[in-house]
A = this chain, B = another copy of it.
Amino acid sequence: MAVAERESAPRRRAPRVDAVRNREAIIEAAAEVLAEQGTAVDVREIARRGGVGMGTLYRHFPKKEDLIHTVLRKEFLEWAESARQAAIDAEDPWMALTDFYQQALTGCARHRAIMENFALTWSVPDLEGIQQLRMVIEELCARATNLLRPGVTTDDLLLLLVSLGHAVELTDECRPRMWNRLLRISLDGLRAEHREPLPAE
Cα-based distance from A167 to B160 in the complex (angstroms): 8
Say yes or no: A201-B181 contact (C-beta < 8 A), given A167-B163, A170-B122, A171-B159. yes
Cα-based distance from A80 to B186 in the complex (angstroms): 23
Give A163's nearest chain B residue, CB to CB: B167
Identify which of residues 137-195 in chain A touch chain B, using a CB-to-CB cut-off of 8 Å: 149, 152, 155-156, 159-160, 162-164, 166-167, 170-171, 173-175, 177-182, 184-190, 193-194
Give A169's nearest chain B residue, CB to CB: B119
Cα-based distance from A134 to B199 in the complex (angstroms): 28
Cα-based distance from A43 to B188 in the complex (angstroms): 46
Measured CB to CB, the residues of A under 8 A from B are 119, 121-123, 149, 152, 155-156, 159-160, 162-164, 166-167, 170-171, 173-175, 177-182, 184-190, 193-194, 196, 198-201
| A200 CB contacts on chain B under 8 angstroms | 177
Secondary structure class of chain A's binding surface, majority of residues: helix
In the complex, which of the residues A122, A160, A175, A181 has the most CB atoms of chain B within 10 Å of its own CB atom? A181
Q: Knowing that A152-B185, A159-B170, A184-B199 are A-B contacts, what are 9 other residue pairs whose CB atoms are under 8 Å apart, sorted by A's residue number?
A: A122-B171, A122-B174, A122-B175, A155-B175, A155-B178, A185-B198, A187-B189, A188-B194, A188-B196
The minimal Cβ–Cβ distance linking A162 to chain B, given in whole angstroms, is 6
The minimal Cβ–Cβ distance linking A171 to chain B, given in whole angstroms, is 5
| A190 CB contacts on chain B under 8 angstroms | 185, 189
Cα-based distance from A144 to B29 in the complex (angstroms): 50
Cα-based distance from A155 to B179 in the complex (angstroms): 10
| A177 CB contacts on chain B under 8 angstroms | 199-201
Cα-based distance from A123 to B175 in the complex (angstroms): 10
Cα-based distance from A171 to B121 in the complex (angstroms): 9
| A162 CB contacts on chain B under 8 angstroms | 166-167, 170
| A184 CB contacts on chain B under 8 angstroms | 189, 196, 198-199
